[in-house]
């Protein structure tokens, strides 16, 4: 499958939800579970490993909540840090956050003071998962998102990005600093066009493609690839 643009992925999501009738929360479950599979391989197994999920308010954060649940099921000790006010988390992401809380997972909302100490909080973990922001981000990061990205990079731990490193433009591959520098990116459906840009590999690391339950031939038909 060739690399795709931001609009291609939006078209696929709309078709899956509106025409096929696949609920967004099912797509999120498929994405998160596929990412958890890749993370388990990266870790060489989950049992006894400590993993931090740093999640934003959007669907990328929702993917992170699904990942947290599946890694915990497989034996990892998982802590989820909310790099956004909980009241900003809505829709399918809120559904998966509620599941984590109902399961009594370790979920920590970061106020301004805690966000300032996030880098130090992440250092005891074996791995940090970047689920802060997704393909919709373009241009320089600001506010809580920028501070969370800076903290993840400053922690000095291996980072896996969910779908795209936060701060890297999906279409151009340009990184308006700060941007996550990942050891591996688990991206969904197909690689992003920006991943082929000069210098983008310094942010993505190894790229692994996970499916979300949409047949490859249908994806090709929708995108003309």
Q: What is the pLDDT of residues 2-24, one digit of tens each?
A: 788 999 899 999 989 999 999 99
Q: Are 39 and 73 in contact (CB under 8 A)?
A: no
Within-domain flag for 157: yes
Within-domain flag for 225: no
Q: Is the pLDDT of residue 153 over 70?
A: yes
Sheet holding 184-188, edge to edge: 106-109, 77-82, 50-55, 127-131, 158-162, 184-188, 206-210
Residue 44, phi then psi, degrees to nearest 5: 75, 30
Domain count, the chain: 1
Domain CATH code at residue 95: 3.40.50.10260
Mean pLDDT for the stretch of residues 44-68: 97
Tokens of 43: 């870790």
Query: Any idea what DSSP says for residue 123?
Result: T
Within-domain flag for 170: yes
Q: Is the pLDDT of residue 124 over 60?
A: yes
Residue 138: its pLDDT value, please?
84
Within-domain flag for 102: yes
Residue 144: its pLDDT value, please?
92
Within-domain flag for 153: yes
Residue 163: its pLDDT value, please?
97
Within-domain flag for 44: yes
| Host domain of residue 108 | 6-217
Dihedral angle, C-alpha 38, 182, 206, 65, nearest 10 °: 20
Q: Is the pLDDT of residue 216 over 70?
A: yes
Mean pLDDT for the stretch of residues 20-34: 96
Residue 225: its pLDDT value, please?
53
**Cα separation of 132 and 180, whole Å?**
10
Within-domain flag for 196: yes
Per-residue confidence band for 224, with pLDDT thresholds at 50, 70 and 90: low
Per-residue confidence band for 1, with pLDDT thresholds at 50, 70 and 90: low
Within-domain flag for 224: no
């Amino acid at each position: 499958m060739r690399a795709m643009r931001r609009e291609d992925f939006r078209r696929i999501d709309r078709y899956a939800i509106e025409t096929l009738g696949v609920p967004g929360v099912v797509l999120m479950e498929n994405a998160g579970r596929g990412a958890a599979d890749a993370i388990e391989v990266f870790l060489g197994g989950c049992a006894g490993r400590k993993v931090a999920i740093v999640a934003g308010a959007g669907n990328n954060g929702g993917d992170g909540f699904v990942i947290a649940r599946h890694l915990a099921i497989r034996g990892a000790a998982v802590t989820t840090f909310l790099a956004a006010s909980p009241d900003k988390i809505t829709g399918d992401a809120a559904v998966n956050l509620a599941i984590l809380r109902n399961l009594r997972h370790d979920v920590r909302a970061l106020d301004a003071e805690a966000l300032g100490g996030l880098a130090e909080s992440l250092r005891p973990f074996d791995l940090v998962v970047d689920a802060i922001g997704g393909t919709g981000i373009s241009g320089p990061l600001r506010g809580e998102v920028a501070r969370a990205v800076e903290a993840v990079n400053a922690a000095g731990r291996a980072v896996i990005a969910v779908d795209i490193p936060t701060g890297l433009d999906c279409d151009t591959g340009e990184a308006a600093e700060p941007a996550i520098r990942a050891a591996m990116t688990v991206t969904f459906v197909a690689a992003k066009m920006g991943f082929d840009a000069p210098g983008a590999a310094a942010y993505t690391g190894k790229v692994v493609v996970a499916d979300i339950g949409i047949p490859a031939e249908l994806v090709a038909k929708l995108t003309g690839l």
